[in-house]
């Protein structure tokens, strides 16, 4: 009896256990069903994130060549060191260790990391840009020891510019895209052109970043590459710049010993052969991310090295403007080249006496001589006959109004006044007396070196206002394809006698008794004109005395060569060099280099630095500082203030 009961109890309890086990296993199966079927997608994604990491492969930017195929800007390899926090347990520990290994300050490192703490952990935080090889070696060793598994060393292409900051303002610089620049193919953290050619042709040069998907293990070590999309290098771009002429111009400035700007172009098509702005910055400082101190120093430098003077500096053209007045008078048919004026050292207009720079006067001068001698009285007379609006009209045809349209960013507008301009600007009518100072490039006339380069090129080629440009050809992948040159801004065929008189006069400046003798090259028929840009009036000079500002005048030299069928033209702007003729040797060196290269001759070199030249008794370009010209003086001070003082 007991045995049977025993059996029954055992059977019942075993059945309970059987049911219990079956139910439990069913519950387990349901649990797995939930994880593996219902929530599979979610967990699959988490598993992918766990072991896959996508690394950006930065595309090298397109290489820049000069017009002869010489490499100007290329790329080098640099190393970035980043922290990937995905598997970081203690970020502070990583920072401390990394600082010790890389020889950096912990606080500084923390400041770099802190702003990024809120970002997704898989996104690398770049802490050291362009790391030294010693740093790379030290960190790589620690990585292998698993001490710094969350620190990665990335090889990235970095822009390499020529040494000596050659053509810095032409090339511009690159930098990380700002918030406002993101979008339209530019992702956060992308390196894009921020200035110069780098910026204007960024789309061509940027290339397409690639990506590498790697498998990492639980401590973040890369196991293998799953997939790789190689980066596409940016387009190769050929510039119109000639390396040798660029160097010649910059050497010329160094040799002459002053800052300034130059823009030299081919007057036949507007191709820029050389663009100089001094002082310059070193674009290499920006290539791997500029440090705060350097950036602050560049920005606070009184000499404004970041400014591209060739297109952003605006100055009074001084005597250079006489070419415009001459062109206007001849083309408007007001005078012919034989028109003569007797210069007695000054003349009275509207009840005021305006001085010529030569006290004794030039005597009777015609157009050619007036240009050669830069006679103020002659051009006062022409200006008075023309009126300001016709001067403005021809200044515009020669490219001195508004923008030249050069393919570089942030060009400033040049200004030549007109009655309309003054009414709009001040609401006042134009006083004819103001025209007198405008006719010798004083008053409200302010122009960029680039616009003067266009002016002299237009005069050189006989009236075709070319648009200066720096891009020559682009390699879209199938070899060089010539870039479409910008349209000619305006085509005015000057009368032959206009052209002859202008060219003769300008030739005489250099080759006869004019002020441009230092640009004379036997057999090359260089034509040119000097000018002085008044930085400040006499009255202003007195007011500013002791302020420590450099108040010395700027000097101009515009030129073309040869006189017949000119092939090269340009402008040399010497900042505070006081005399326009001091720019002439720079032009000479460039022109000599140009022809030597063309003829296959060895390139000229500059001799030892010239001893300071004694200033001639009278500077023909020096501006008569007439205190009875309150309007002109005041404006001259005002307009010159930005950029020069």
Residue whose CB is less far from other proteins, 119 or 291: 119
Q: Does 23 bind other proteins (CB under 8 A)?
A: no
Nearer to other proteins, 26 or 134 (CB): 26
Q: What CA–CA distance (Å, rounded) separates 228 from 514? A: 67
- The percent helix, strand, coil of the chain (3-state, each to 5) is 40, 20, 40
* Sign (positive or negative) of CA dihedral 398, 400, 402, 405: positive
User: Which among 4-12, 55-63, 495-503, 597-605 is the span making contact with other proteins, rule CB under 8 A?
Assistant: 4-12
146 binds other proteins (CB under 8 A): no
CB of 141 to other proteins, least distance (A): 23
Asked if 54 interacts with other proteins (CB under 8 A), we say no
Pick the closer one to other proteins by CB: 30 or 543. 30
Segment interacting with other proteins (CB under 8 A) among 31-39, 307-315, 422-430, 516-524: 31-39
User: Cα(58)–Cα(129) distance, rounded to whole angstroms?
Assistant: 14
- Give the binding range for other proteins (CB under 8 A) out of 5-13, 247-255, 355-363, 440-448: 5-13
H or E stretch covering 2: helix 2-33
Q: What crossing angle do the helices spanning 496-511 and 449-461 adopt, rounded to 10°?
A: 120
Task: Output the DSSP codes for 6-17.
Answer: HHHHHHHHHHHH
User: How many other CB atoms are found less than 10 A from the CB of residue 273?
Assistant: 27
Burial status of residue 85 (CB atoms within 10 A of its CB: 0-12, 13-18, 19 or more): buried
Is there binding between residue 294 and other proteins (CB under 8 A)? no
Query: What character string, x for contact with other proteins (CB under 8 A) and - otherwise, covers 198-237?
Result: -----------------xxxxx---x--------------
- Residue 93 interacting with other proteins (CB under 8 A): no
Q: Is 17 in the site for other proteins (CB under 8 A)?
A: yes
Distance of alpha carbon 514 from alpha carbon 512, whole angstroms: 6
Question: 283, 159 in Cβ contact below 8 A?
Answer: yes
- Provide the Cα torsion 416, 417, 421, 426; round to 10°: 130
Distances (CA, A) of 110 to 91, 137, 138, 188, 220: 10, 22, 20, 22, 22
Pairwise CA distance, residues 289 & 152, whole Å: 18
Q: Is 51 in the site for other proteins (CB under 8 A)?
A: yes
Q: With binding defined as CB under 8 A, does residue 297 bind other proteins?
A: no
Instruction: Please tell me whether residue 120 binds other proteins under the rule CB under 8 A.
Output: no
Window contacting other proteins (CB under 8 A); options: 48-56, 229-237, 493-501, 594-602: 48-56
31 binds other proteins (CB under 8 A): yes
Determine, following the binding rule CB under 8 A, whether residue 28 of this chain makes contact with other proteins.
yes
Query: Which stretch, 16-24, 99-107, 389-397, 634-642, contacts other proteins (CB under 8 A)?
Result: 16-24
Of 25 and 431, which CB lies nearer to other proteins in the complex structure? 25
Comparison of 13 and 117: residue with beta carbon closer to other proteins = 13
Using CB under 8 A, list all residues that contact other proteins: 2, 5-6, 9-11, 13-14, 17-18, 21-22, 24-25, 28-29, 31-33, 35-37, 39-40, 42-44, 46-48, 50-51, 89, 215-219, 223
């Amino acid at each position: 009896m007991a045995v049977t009961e025993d059996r029954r109890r055992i059977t019942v309890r075993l059945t309970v256990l059987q049911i219990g086990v079956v139910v439990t296993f069913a519950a387990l199966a349901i649990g797995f069903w939930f994880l593996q079927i219902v929530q599979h997608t979610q967990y699959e994604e988490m598993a992918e994130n766990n072991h896959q990491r996508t690394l950006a492969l930065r595309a090298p930017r397109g290489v820049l060549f000069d017009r002869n195929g010489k490499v100007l800007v290329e790329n080098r390899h640099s190393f970035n060191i980043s922290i990937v926090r995905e598997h970081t347990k203690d970020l502070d520990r990583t920072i401390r260790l990394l600082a010790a290994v890389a020889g950096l300050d912990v606080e500084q490192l923390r400041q770099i990391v802190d702003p990024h703490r809120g970002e997704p952990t898989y996104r690398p935080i770049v802490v050291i840009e362009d790391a030294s090889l010693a740093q790379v070696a030290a960190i790589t060793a620690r990585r292998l020891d698993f001490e710094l598994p969350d620190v990665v060393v990335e090889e990235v292409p970095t822009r390499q510019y020529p040494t000596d900051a050659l053509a810095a303002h032409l090339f511009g610089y690159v930098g990380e895209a700002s918030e406002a620049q993101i979008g339209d193919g530019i992702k956060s953290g992308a390196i894009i052109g921020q200035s110069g050619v780098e910026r204007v042709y960024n789309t061509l040069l940027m290339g397409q970043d690639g990506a590498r998907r790697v498998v990492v293990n639980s401590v973040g070590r890369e196991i293998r590459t799953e997939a790789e999309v190689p980066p596409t290098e940016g387009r190769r771009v050929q510039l119109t710049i000639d390396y040798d002429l660029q160097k010649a111009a910059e050497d010329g400035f160094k040799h002459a010993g002053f800052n300034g700007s130059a823009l030299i172009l081919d007057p036949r098509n507007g191709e820029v052969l050389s663009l100089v702005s001094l002082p310059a910055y070193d674009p290499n400082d920006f290539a791997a991310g500029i440090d705060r101190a350097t950036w602050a120093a560049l920005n606070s430098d009184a000499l404004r090295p970041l400014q591209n003077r060739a297109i952003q500096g605006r100055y009074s053209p001084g005597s250079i403007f006489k070419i415009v007045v001459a062109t206007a008078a001849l083309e408007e048919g007001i005078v012919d080249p034989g028109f003569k004026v007797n210069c007695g050292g000054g003349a009275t207009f509207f009840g005021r006496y305006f001085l010529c720079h030569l006290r004794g006067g030039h005597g009777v001068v015609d157009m050619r001589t007036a240009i050669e001698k830069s006679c103020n009285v002659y051009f006062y007379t022409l200006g008075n006959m023309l009126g300001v609006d016709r001067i403005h009209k021809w200044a515009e045809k020669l490219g001195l109004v508004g923008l030249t349209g050069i393919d570089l960013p942030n060009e400033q507008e040049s200004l030549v006044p007109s009655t309309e301009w003054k009414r709009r600007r001040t609401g006042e009518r134009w006083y004819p007396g103001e025209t007198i100072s405008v006719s010798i490039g004083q008053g409200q006339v302010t122009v960029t070196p680039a616009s003067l380069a266009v002016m002299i090129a237009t005069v050189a080629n006989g009236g075709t206002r070319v648009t200066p440009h720096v891009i020559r050809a682009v390699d879209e992948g199938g070899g060089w394809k010539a870039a479409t040159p910008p349209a000619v801004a305006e085509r005015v065929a000057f009368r032959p006698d206009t052209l002859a008189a202008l060219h003769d006069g300008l030739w005489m400046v250099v080759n006869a008794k004019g002020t441009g003798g230092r640009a004379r090259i036997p057999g090359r028929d260089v034509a040119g004109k000097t000018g002085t840009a008044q930085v400040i009036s006499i009255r202003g000079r007195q007011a500013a005395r002791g302020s420590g500002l450099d108040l010395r005048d700027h000097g101009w030299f515009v030129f073309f060569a040869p006189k017949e069928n000119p092939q090269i033209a340009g402008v040399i702007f010497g900042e505070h060099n006081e005399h326009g003729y001091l720019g002439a040797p720079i032009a000479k060196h460039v022109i000599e280099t140009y022809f030597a290269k063309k003829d296959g001759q060895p390139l000229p070199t500059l001799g030892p630095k010239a001893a300071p030249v004694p200033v001639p008794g009278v500077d023909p370009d020096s501006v008569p500082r007439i205190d009875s010209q309150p309007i002109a003086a005041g404006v001259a001070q005002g307009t010159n203030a930005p950029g020069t003082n």
